[in-house]
Amino acid sequence: MSSSAPHNSVRSDGEAPANPSTSSGRTVVLPSAAPLMTKRGWSAFLVALIIVCAGAPVLNLMVPDSSMFHLSDFAISLIGKIMCYAICALAMDLIWGYTGILSLGHGLFFALGGYAMGMYLMRQIGLDGNYKSELPDFMVFLDWKVLPWHWLGSSSFIFQMAMVVLAPGLLALVFGFFAFRSRIKGVYFSIITQALTFAAMLLFFRNETGFGGNNGFTDFKRILDIPIAQPSTRMVLFVLTGCTLLGFYIFSRWLVQSKFGRVLQAIRDAESRVMFSGYNPVAYKLTIWVISAIMCGIAGALYVPQVGIINPGEMSPANSIEMAIWAAVGGRATLIGPIVGAFAVNGAKSWFTAAFPEYWLYFLGAIFVIVTLYLPQGIVGLVRKFTSKKEGERA
């Protein structure tokens, strides 16, 4: 007498059917899709959203300066800047943590988004510049008479916001297409991305490119004809940055839990097997590469009006390396880890550069070495290991 045990099957698209089905008289019960986040995760997300949209504005705008609960303008600016960095760290996690592509050039995409926003902010200065000209001050200083061709749409907010997405997205698309089609990977890919951002930095340093040369763009006055320095404008930018970070986090969780995300992780673990299974890794890698570049561009656009300056230094290879450090310190392939890493590293940087400015780079290097050798799963991995150990002891 022979019997056959029930077996699991999956639809051709990789997803499980919603209800049990029968096949050849046998009942096939498939697991349901995992939720986007747990109840605890949604609770934490809601708390973060309330803090960004209500808590910080109240503590900054309504609580008196003399109160110990007052959140200073400096703190708002610093946190807003770090949230922009956290978006970049999240983008780095998508390509490095989940796809296995280590980029050392994402600072270029961040800067391109920043320059696109900066061009609009420079045009918003109008006749309030030092030379009382419709042209940006640096162009008057260089004795330029008309705007360069690539500045012609810069007075339109909508056009420049489109450029925030298109400039880094198109560059990533062209670069990634040739790199991935040529099967460049590993350390070779990392070196090429670093060379790309270094070449762009040297290009933007030149005055004749029309991007302000060494000084870049600064001395912004308004955004959408609203004074950019007034507290309410700063707070709107802060809230917008926080909501963008939270939105990208939810989007990233949905992405990595989808079939697309599972293929990305398969490419990270065994790209050859993915190819033999009939998938084209180039299309998947190129898509996530462009998405991460656009995320960095949007982060750069949010960064510039809050910090008040953008120059070629943002394209330096060191800035791109720091993005990888944020992801490694927080914990790769966790999504929340890179955000934690961005806040931890940049919080430490803010204190170290004020207290011991000459030792910061040594401290940063030490952090990376320690994490690589002793904390390969980062801060989040350490916390999860400690939590699971505690739960095991209770059991």
- pLDDT greater than 50 at residue 9: no
99 — pLDDT class (breaks 50, 70, 90): very high
Mean pLDDT of the region 305-316: 96
390 — pLDDT class (breaks 50, 70, 90): confident
Model confidence over 16-47: pLDDT tens digits? 444 444 445 566 555 566 789 999 999 999 99
Residue 271 tokens read as 């790209």
Mean pLDDT of the region 98-111: 97
Mean pLDDT of the chain: 90
Distance from CA of residue 115 to its chain's centroid? 16
Model confidence over 83-95: pLDDT tens digits? 999 999 999 999 9
CA 96, 100, 101, 104 torsion: positive or negative? positive
DSSP secondary structure letters along 222-259? EETTEETTSHHHHHHHHHHHHHHHHHHHHHHHHHHHSH
369 — pLDDT class (breaks 50, 70, 90): confident
- pLDDT greater than 90 at residue 359: no
Q: How many residues does the chain have?
A: 395
Least confident of 132-136, 183-187, 371-375: 371-375
Q: What is the pLDDT of residue 17?
A: 47
Mean pLDDT of the region 205-223: 95
- pLDDT greater than 60 at residue 201: yes
Packing angle of the helix pair 336-355, 317-330 (nearest 10 deg): 120
Distance from CA of residue 95 to its chain's centroid? 11
Model confidence over 37-74: pLDDT tens digits? 999 999 999 999 999 999 999 999 999 999 999 999 99
Q: What is the pLDDT of residue 294?
A: 98
- pLDDT greater than 70 at residue 8: no
Model confidence over 246-277: pLDDT tens digits? 999 999 999 999 999 999 999 999 999 999 99
- pLDDT greater than 60 at residue 1: no
Which sequence spans correspond to the domains of the chain? 83-316
The closest alpha carbon to 177, from 255, 293, 277, 322, belongs to 293
Q: What is the pLDDT of residue 252?
A: 97
3 — pLDDT class (breaks 50, 70, 90): very low
Q: Do the Cβ atoms of 140 and 131 come closer than 8 Å? A: yes
Least confident of 19-23, 146-150, 180-184, 204-208: 19-23
